[in-house]
Amino acid sequence: MTNSGSVFVCLALIAAFSLGLSSAQNCGCASRGLCCSKFGYCGTGNDYCGEGCREGPCYSSPGGGGSGSGSGSVSNIVTDSFFNGIANQAGPSCEGKGFYTRNSFLEAAKSYPKFGTTGTADDIKREIAAFFAHITHETGHLCYIREINGASGDYCDENNRQYPCAPGKMYYGRGPIQLSWNYNYGPAGQSIGFDGLNNPDIVATNNIISFKTALWFWMNNCHSCLISGQGFGCTIRAINGPLECNGANSATVTKRVEYYTKYCQQLGVNPGNNLRC
């Protein structure tokens, strides 16, 4: 072996040793709410939490080389016990009984990889607790698919030219977060892949699409509230602010906060500040 060959081998061994040392030194991220990347470094985002993620709030099951669906870590938090603890409180005659399932929720969550995977471990748990607090309130523990007496109003904003109402269609609340109004059905359908203006009732008949509409609304209006530290009160304002916040309906706000704090307790996380709106 020539001298140059020996030098090359030595350098390769040093590099390999250094990489292994870095990996050993930089893993152990989960306790800080960070992902350990496939190269052994701590951080957030797709480079750390995506393919090859070893530990922490990975977008897929740690070490699984997943596609970044978000369902792996979310499913670890939204267990059968947690989900069914909510759904089982709905009476046997509820239309949502058997419609809202944990499997349909997890399948829908695959389309929203940043849901329940962003921020610290506490941020993640707070977001999931907040989401389920609201859908618990909106649906009566996953009992209602359609808004009570919703058909008494068409929820059509005729001034909205971008998403014009289809003749004879009604845009009352449907689904886990009670999606309402043509200006929500239209863009939700475009994003998810259904005709929200001409076929709004699919939100009440397809359980995966139903959960997707709730997650679509959440990611566009509520997600940043928890991640930015604005608190649970910000999510109430985003969902039903004019009707509940600033003293409009303090009893309803209190009920939402009670669900949220209960779920935070179940998930072992402090609910944080700014709970009311």
Q: What would you measure as the largest C-alpha separation in the chain, in angstroms? A: 88
**What interhelical angle do 80-87 and 102-109 show, nearest 10?**
120
Inter-residue long-range contacts of 43-49, CB under 8 Å, 24+ positions, other chains counted: 44/118, 44/119, 49/117
**How many Å apart are CA 114 and CA 59, to the nearest integer?**
8
DSSP 243-256: HHTTTT-HHHHHHH
CB atoms near residue 49 (< 10 Å): 28
Among 55, 127, 138, 158, the one annotated catalytic: 138
- Establish whether 51 is a catalytic residue: no
Integer-rounded Cα Rg, in Å, for the chain is 23
Buried b (16+ CB within 10 A) or exposed e, 26-47: bbebbeebbbbbbebbbebeee
Positions marked catalytic? 138
